[in-house]
Amino acid sequence: MSERLQPGDVAPAFTLPDADGKPVSLADHQGRKVIVYFYPAALTPGCTKQACDFTDNLELLAGAGYDVIGISPDSPEKLAKFREKESLRITLLADPDKKVTEAYGAYGEKKNYGKTYLGVIRSTVVVDEQGKVERALYNVRATGHVAKIIKDLGL
Residues 102-115: pLDDT tens digits?
999 999 988 878 89
Structural domain contains residue 2: no
Instruction: Given the residues 47, 88, 142, 149, select the one marked as catalytic.
Output: 47
Structural domain contains residue 103: yes
CATH number for the domain that contains residue 120: 3.40.30.10
Structural domain contains residue 1: no
Q: Are 120 and 113 in contact (CB under 8 A)?
A: no
- Provide the domain limits for residue 45: 9-153
CB-based contacts of 117, cutoff 8 Å, min separation 6: 109, 110
pLDDT in the model for residue 1: 52
Residue 21: pLDDT over 80 = yes
Structural domain contains residue 28: yes
Number of domains comprising the chain? 1
Q: Are 24 and 14 in contact (CB under 8 A)?
A: no
DSSP SS3 for 76:
helix
Structural domain contains residue 111: yes
Q: Among this protein's residues, is 47 annotated catalytic?
A: yes
pLDDT in the model for residue 95: 98
- Average pLDDT over every residue of 12-27: 98
Mean pLDDT over each residue of the chain, to the nearest integer: 95
* Closest alpha carbon to 144 in 122, 128, 127, 126: 122
Name the DSSP letter for residue 12. Answer: P
Q: What angle do CA 96, 26, 65 make, to 5 degrees?
A: 125
Instruction: Name the burial class of residue 42, with classes exposed (0-12), middle (13-18) and buried (19+) by CB atoms within 10 angstroms of its CB.
Output: buried
Categorize the per-residue pLDDT at 2 as very low, low, confident or very high, splitting at 50, 70 and 90: low
Residue 46: pLDDT over 60 = yes
- Average pLDDT over every residue of 5-26: 97
Q: How many Å apart are CA 69 and CA 54, to the nearest integer?
A: 9
